[in-house]
Amino acid sequence: MRLSTLFTKTSKEAPKDELSVNARLLMQAGFVDKLTAGVYTFLPLGLRVLKKIENIIREEMNKVGGQEILMPALTPKSIWETTGRWATFDALFRLVGSDSREYALGATHEEVVVPLAGKYVFSYKDLPLYIYQIQNKFRNEKRAKSGILRGREFIMKDLYSFHTDEDNLDEYYKAMQKVYFKIYERCGLLDKTYLTFASGGSFSKYSHEFQTITPAGEDEIYICESCQIAVNREILADLENKCPNCGSKKLKQEKAIEVGNIFKLGTKYSEPFNLQFVDEGGKKKPVVMGCFGIGLSRVLGTVAEVCHDERGLIWPKEIAPFAVHLVTVNSKDVAANNKIKLASEKIYKDLQASGIEVLFDDREGETSTGEKFADADLIGCPLRLVVSERTLEQDCVEVKKRGEEEKELVKLNQVTKCK
Ligand code: ATP
Ligand code: MG
């Protein structure tokens, strides 16, 4: 991608009316645009990151047997009445259709997926089953001040698991905890993300959240110093200030953002929809369920909160919009400038030919070298390559990692080996 033709441009300053770090950086660098509070457009750079997160999650879900579907976002009132949530789900966006019937925009999809499963699940032979989607969700959030961390429209992966019994659910639930950590690892959040005990709702005593430590976090968690498992403040009182895992009382308080949440639903939703299966003995039983959510847009925003410095974003490798930010330092000397252009065009082609994604700052004219470097820092690709008269004198490009000061010269014929 050439910066000279990229749809967006960076801004000199962060948007004045944004308080959150993620929105300030992501908007200034041209990753997202705010339409209204809690509602954002993903721009080319932001969409690239989002798609990478999406693909990581898709890969990991498929590995544990997930089958992807796409459910509608527009849902009829009747299904929400079946579970009683039309009356109790405050954050539901409700609307009236031209048929004068009421609808809700999907905030979560138990009410859609459970009757759907009922069309295909009959016997124990049909279980277990893992169905997921990656889709825009709508919630009429009261506090939409945290940039893309708390959207009114946001993107979620929600997987619903269907089991014959609790033991089978427990097994999957444990496996999913590992898978979730794999996802956070690939997104560059592993060392700040903690498995956190949270209130469980009707079926199990606890649910589990994945909480990433950041001052921008809206939650308070207490991390056990001996086993590194955390507890959400909301449930801590019930536990007499002890770690629910090892009983230790040495807990460290941190602010954190919930980047994922997994629940054992039991038969909470299968019962109202009468989702049953016939067991090996020919007896009808309600299906036991689990539910596993991750906010993709929130993960992206969390990475922006956690991985940045005063100059801009610092993307973890696997989700960076581009691996390399290639910068030309233009010369006033026409011959020298042509040489720089030729060399950098070749580097651009060679890198792409070897499968390396490059953002090429090929801008000329008004844009100063200082501005180019500032943009490279703001956008935050992991590697910056600079081609100038000076580097070409030595048949080299200058290579620098984002977030580090050290620079090195790499021979032009070695450029595709830069990492
Ligand atoms: P929170 O406690 O932050 O309001 P929640 O517990 O209501 O979230 P879930 O219903 O468990 O969230 O949704 C699953 C995941 O979706 C959350 O762990 C989070 O990563 C993401 N998520 C939830 N609400 C939002 C939102 N408004 N904007 C962005 N992501 C969200
Ligand atoms: Mg939650």
SS in 3 state form for the chain? CECCCCCCCCCCCCCCCCCCHHHHHHHHCCCEEEEECCEEEECHHHHHHHHHHHHHHHHHHHHCCCEECCCCCEEEHHHHHHHCHHHHCCCCEEEECCCCCEEEECCCCHHHHHHHHHCCCCEHHHCCEEEEEEEEEECCCCCCCCHHHCCCEEEEEEEEEEECCHHHHHHHHHHHHHHHHHHHHHCCCHHHEEEEEEECCCCCCEEEEEEEECCCCCEEEEEECCCCCEEEHHHHHHHCCCCCCCCCCCEEEEEEEEEEEEEEEECCCCCCCCCEEECCCCCEEECEEEEEEEEHHHHHHHHHHHCEECCEECCCHHHCCCCEEEEECCCCCHHHHHHHHHHHHHHHHHHHHCCCCEEEECCCCCCCHHHHHHHHHHHCCCEEEEECHHHHHCCEEEEEECCCCCEEEEEHHHHHHCC
Q: Is 388 in the pocket of ligand 1 (CB under 6 A)?
A: no
Q: Residue 359, Cα to own-chain centre: how many angstroms?
A: 22
- The residue among 295, 259, 277, 265 whose CA lies nearest residue 111 is 265
Q: Which residues, in sequence order, are CB contacts of 268 under 8 Å at separation 6+?
A: 201, 202, 203, 289
CA distance 117 to 265: 15
* 184-226 tens-digit pLDDT: 999 999 999 999 999 876 678 899 999 999 999 999 999 999 9
Mean pLDDT of 121-134: 98
| Exposure string over 345-383, b if 16+ CB within 10 A, otherwise e | eebbeebeeeebebbbbbbeeebeeeebbebbbbbbbbb
Q: Which residues, in sequence order, are CB contacts of 78 under 8 Å at separation 6+?
A: none
Which atom of ligand 1 lies at the shortest distance from residue 263's CA?
11
Q: Residue 123, Cα to own-chain centre: how many angstroms?
A: 36
**Is residue 263 a contact partner of residue 244, using CB atoms and an 8 Å limit?**
no
User: Is the model's pTM score more than 0.75?
Assistant: yes
Residue 279, exposed/middle/buried by CB under 10 A (0-12, 13-18, 19+)? middle
Is the predicted pLDDT of residue 262 greater than 80, yes or no?
yes
- The residue among 221, 234, 7, 47 whose CA lies nearest residue 148 is 47
Which atom of ligand 1 lies at the shortest distance from residue 107's CA?
10
Which atom of ligand 1 lies at the shortest distance from residue 257's CA?
3
Q: Is 259 in the pocket of ligand 1 (CB under 6 A)?
A: yes
pLDDT value at position 418?
86
Is the predicted pLDDT of residue 152 greater than 90, yes or no?
yes
Is the predicted pLDDT of residue 144 greater than 80, yes or no?
no
Pocket test for ligand 1, best of 159, 298, 302 (most atoms within 8 A of CB): 298
The amino acid sitting at 120 is Y
Which atom of ligand 1 lies at the shortest distance from residue 139's CA?
27
Q: To the nearest whole number, what is the mean pLDDT of the chain? A: 96
pLDDT value at position 204?
80
Q: Identify the band that residue 143 occupies on the pLDDT scale cut at 50, 70 and 90.
A: confident
Pocket test for ligand 1, best of 141, 261, 297 (most atoms within 8 A of CB): 261
Is the predicted pLDDT of residue 76 greater than 70, yes or no?
yes
Q: Could you tell me the distance, in angstroms and rounded to a whole number, from the CA of residue 258 to the centre of ligand 2?
A: 7
Q: The dihedral of CA 114, 115, 119, 121: what is its sign? A: positive
Q: Is 380 in the pocket of ligand 1 (CB under 6 A)?
A: no
Which residue's CA is minimally distant from atom 13 of ligand 1? 293
Is the predicted pLDDT of residue 281 greater than 80, yes or no?
yes
pLDDT value at position 201?
63
Structure tokens at 403: 């977030």
Q: Is 134 in the pocket of ligand 1 (CB under 6 A)?
A: no
pLDDT value at position 145?
81
Which residue's CA is minimally distant from atom 4 of ligand 1? 150
Q: Is 293 in the pocket of ligand 1 (CB under 6 A)?
A: yes
Residue 199: nearest ligand to its CA?
A: 2
Q: Is 261 in the pocket of ligand 1 (CB under 6 A)?
A: yes
